[in-house]
């Protein structure tokens, strides 16, 4: 049978006639004989002062791989300063070489960065357009979340409680050790640095007020939100992005399931429940670390520390930090899911959007904290 026939070894012969070198190719130039063809062409040597013609009429079988090898040979000879032409091609083989010419990669040219006002304004406009598109995407997801949540309230069976519980376990329970350790160290650093400078004025006792108010109002919730953005937010983006790459998102659409209901709502809801809990644990851990450092470094005993802390803070101080937590969790969850849905079919896109998810989430967390600080200052809390 034809497909059992043995391939003919590729070969060539150089014929010189009236100042023209003719390279006569023969045999099979296909994928099965490609290594042999490369080996014999490696020894080809022709002087630079001659015209060269590559005669392909003697080739028995040629496919895209062999045609590309002949095309590369032509480019190598032309790069050496010779004039090269290909002859002996029928219509089919000529069209094959024409297609190779169309798909030949263009010569690389370095991009020249010109410093100009127009270029700066153009880049700024592109960034603003990207920010606007991200805002619209977040509003779209937020609106669909509201719709799905309203339907879940009317029909509680649509709320996927097991998915919420699984995501809560991943985002909250799994994050307790690292959040507690980080907060413990931050609380100790605040007491040590604050006590070091306050001791110069003889008022190191006020380090208790500093640590209590700073941790409960600002540092506890901000650091926890940043940790959650880097840990859980990036995980959400990677999970949804990987599903996007494997076309599982499209499969959900095909079978009639809502992506917001199945993927986004359980993650965002679990994150909004987890962040206040993690913030409370962070506050307690920070205050313990602060108290231990104050005891060992500033010689403030635990009983006195607790008494001074009770005088410095109130329930309002604790609630200021806890109220921020669900809003920050909502922002982290929305950004993570939006960036995950923007992933295309490459791992480069997945890595880029995962990075952008963390960066955008941390930036907006700090912005929201500043807005809350202005709001609470305006109402006198």
Set out the domains of the chain in order of their start, with CATH numbers. Answer: 6-102 (3.30.750.24), 138-378 (no CATH)
Give the alpha-carbon dihedral of 236, 341, 245, 365, to 10 degrees. Answer: -40
Per-residue pLDDT at 82: 75
Percent of the chain with pLDDT over 90: 13
Query: Phi then psi for 50, rounded to 5 degrees?
Result: -125, 150
| Spatial distance between the Cα atoms of 45 and 283, rounded to a whole number of angstroms | 77
Per-residue pLDDT at 1: 39
The dihedral region occupied by 250, where left means phi > 0, alpha psi between -120 and 50, and beta the remainder, is alpha
Strands 51-55 and 11-17: unpaired
- Confirm if 76 and 44 have CB atoms less than 8 A apart: no
Provide the β-strand partners of residue 14. Answer: 23
Tell me 303's DSSP state.
H
Query: Phi then psi for 283, rounded to 5 degrees?
Result: -60, -50
- Confirm if 246 and 223 have CB atoms less than 8 A apart: no
Helix (H, G, I), strand (E, B) or coil at 255: coil
Provide the β-strand partners of residue 54. Answer: 23, 86
The dihedral region occupied by 190, where left means phi > 0, alpha psi between -120 and 50, and beta the remainder, is alpha
Tell me 44's DSSP state.
-
Per-residue pLDDT at 115: 66
Residues of the chain with pLDDT under 70: 1-6, 19, 47-50, 104-115
| Spatial distance between the Cα atoms of 232 and 191, rounded to a whole number of angstroms | 29
Per-residue pLDDT at 4: 42
Strands 83-87 and 51-55: parallel
Query: Phi then psi for 150, rounded to 5 degrees?
Result: -65, -40
| Spatial distance between the Cα atoms of 205 and 294, rounded to a whole number of angstroms | 9
Tokens found for residue 262: 């199945």
| Spatial distance between the Cα atoms of 221 and 229, rounded to a whole number of angstroms | 12
Residue 16 host element (H or E)? strand 11-17
For the stretch 79-97, pLDDT in tens is: 777 777 888 788 888 888 7
Per-residue pLDDT at 3: 41
Handedness of CA 154, 158, 161, 166 (dihedral sign): negative
What lies within 8 Å, CB to CB, of 67 at 6+ separation is 29, 93, 96, 97, 100
Residue 150 host element (H or E)? helix 117-154
């Amino acid at each position: 049978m034809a497909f059992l026939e043995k391939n003919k070894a590729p070969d060539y012969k150089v014929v010189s006639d009236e100042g023209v070198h003719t390279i006569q190719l023969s045999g099979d130039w296909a994928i099965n004989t490609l290594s042999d063809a490369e080996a014999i062409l490696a020894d080809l040597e022709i002087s630079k002062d001659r015209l060269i013609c590559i005669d392909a009429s003697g080739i028995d079988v040629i496919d895209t791989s062999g045609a590309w090898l002949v095309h590369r040979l032509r480019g190598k000879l032309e790069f050496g300063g010779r004039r090269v032409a290909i002859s002996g091609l029928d219509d089919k083989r000529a069209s094959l070489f024409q297609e190779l010419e169309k798909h030949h990669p263009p010569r690389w040219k370095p991009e020249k960065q010109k410093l100009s006002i127009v270029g700066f304004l153009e880049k700024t406009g592109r960034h603003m357009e990207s920010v606007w598109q991200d805002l619209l995407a977040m509003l779209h997801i937020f609106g669909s979340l509201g719709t799905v949540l309203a339907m879940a309230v009317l029909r509680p069976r649509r709320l996927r409680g097991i998915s919420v519980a699984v995501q809560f376990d991943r985002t909250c329970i799994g994050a307790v050790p690292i959040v507690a350790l980080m907060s413990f160290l931050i609380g100790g650093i605040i007491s040590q640095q604050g006590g070091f400078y306050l001791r110069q004025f003889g008022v190191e006792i006020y380090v208790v007020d500093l640590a209590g108010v700073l941790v409960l109002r600002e540092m506890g919730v901000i650091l926890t939100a940043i940790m959650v953005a880097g840990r859980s937010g990036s995980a959400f983006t990677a999970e949804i992005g990987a599903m996007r790459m494997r076309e599982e998102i499209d499969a959900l659409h095909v079978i009639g399931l809502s992506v917001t209901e199945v993927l986004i709502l359980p993650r965002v809801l679990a994150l909004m429940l987890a962040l206040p809990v993690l913030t409370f644990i962070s506050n307690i851990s920070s205050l313990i670390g602060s108290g231990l450092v104050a005891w060992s470094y500033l010689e403030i005993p635990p009983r006195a520390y607790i008494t001074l802390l009770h005088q410095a803070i109130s329930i309002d101080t604790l609630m200021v930090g806890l109220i921020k937590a669900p809003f920050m969790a909502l922002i982290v969850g929305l950004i993570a899911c939006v960036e995950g849905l923007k992933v295309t079919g490459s791992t480069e896109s997945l890595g880029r959007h995962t990075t952008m998810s963390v960066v955008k989430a941390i930036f907006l967390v700090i912005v929201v904290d500043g807005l809350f600080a202005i709001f609470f200052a305006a109402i006198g809390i």
